[in-house]
Structure 1
Amino acid sequence: MAKSKFEQSLENGAHSKIKNLVGSWEGTTKTWFQKDVLADESPAHAEITSILDGRFISYDYQSSLEGKPLSGKMIIGFDIPYQKFTFSWIDTFHMGTQIMQASGEATENGFSILGSWGNPEYGEQLFGWRTELEIINDDQIVFWAYNIMPGEEEVKAIETVYKRI
């Protein structure tokens, strides 16, 4: 019997890549609020688990910002029909009470996903938020996030370098 597209992806495609991220990770998160001005550097811990038989992973992380604890969760997957990586993201700092939905392209060693966020206090236009994952090797990954103010160039906001523990 022929394998389904999902079974093929789980064996040697995008789902295989994200499945290989399952485990415990420790590292450092750097945060910028202004271009090239490092605001904070804090230890980070993440647990990545497989959910729904490998269709998605749950990336659960804890860190701090200026001494205050923060935590978050991303549900990350690969949409086979549209050939895009996707995520839903919540956290205790950046997103507040919102849920960001994002999608984007595979890269050579991970993905680049674009979402948006907003707040009526900041006006009607939404801000962009681009997240990249680079898989350095089986035991090291890097997440970058870039804030995109309406009408402006993107600026690095977050960099988290993890090593598998």
Structure 2
Amino acid sequence: MAKSKFEKSLADGAHKKLLQLIGNWQGSTKTWFEKDVLADESLSEAQIISILGSRFISVDYHGSLEGKPFEGKMIIGFDLPYQRFTTSWVDSFHMGTQMMLSSGEATTNGFSVFGEYGSPEYGGQLWGWRTALDIVGDDAFVLTAYNVSPEGEEAKATETVYKRI
């Protein structure tokens, strides 16, 4: 009997790549509020588990920013029909009460996804948020996020280098 597309992806495709991230991680997060001006560097921890029959991974993380604790959750998947990585993201600092949905392409060592955020309180203009995940061997990955202005200018916002524990 022929394997389904999902079974093939689990065996040697995007889902296999995601499942390799399952585990506990520690890292260091850098944060920028202004382009090229480092505002904070602090420790971060993450737990990544498989959910819904290995269709997705759930990334639960916590750390601090300027001495104040924060936490977040990102659900990551690979959309087989559209051949795109997808994420949903919430956290207690950046997103407030909003949820960001993003999608994008595979890269050599992971993926890059793009979403948008904004608020009518600040003129209603949407800003972009690009998130890149790069797997660096079996025991490390880098999660980098970039703010993208409405004019398309990109600036690094956060970067966490995680190592497996």
Partner residue in 2 for 1:138: 138
Report deviation, 1:69: 0.2
Report deviation, 1:123: 1.1
Report deviation, 1:152: 4.1
Amino acid at match of 2:132: E
Give the whole-Å Cα distance in 2 for the aligned partners of 1:149 and 1:97.
Answer: 21
Amino acid at match of 2:35: K
Give secondary structure in 2 for the equivalent of 1:7: helix
Deviations 1:70-104 (A, max 9, x none): 00000000000000000000000000100000000
Mapping of 1:7-46 within 5 angstroms? Answer: 7-46=7-46
Report deviation, 1:164: 0.1
Amino acid at match of 1:8: K
Deviations 1:120-160 (A, max 9, x none): 12212200000000001110000000001111411000000
Give the whole-Å Cα distance in 1 for the aligned partners of 2:120 and 2:164.
Answer: 40
Give the whole-Å Cα distance in 2 for the aligned partners of 1:122 and 1:41.
Answer: 27
Partner residue in 2 for 1:109: 109
Mapping of 1:35-114 within 5 angstroms? Answer: 35-114=35-114
Give secondary structure in 2 for the equivalent of 1:8: helix
Amino acid at match of 1:139: D
Report deviation, 1:53: 1.1
Does residue 3 in structure 1 map to residue 7 in structure 2? no
Amino acid at match of 1:146: Y
Give the whole-Å Cα distance in 1 for the aligned partners of 2:145 and 2:93.
Answer: 14
TM-score normalised to structure 2 length: 0.99
Give the whole-Å Cα distance in 2 for the aligned partners of 1:152 and 1:51.
Answer: 34
TM-score normalised to structure 1 length: 0.99
Aligned length: 165
Amino acid at match of 1:16: K
Give the whole-Å Cα distance in 2 for the aligned partners of 1:67 and 1:27.
Answer: 16
Any runs of at least 4 consecutive aligned residues in structure 1 with deviations exceeding 6 A, and if so which?
A: none
Does residue 162 in structure 1 map to residue 155 in structure 2? no
Amino acid at match of 2:130: R
Amino acid at match of 1:20: Q
* Aligned residues: CA RMSD: 0.6
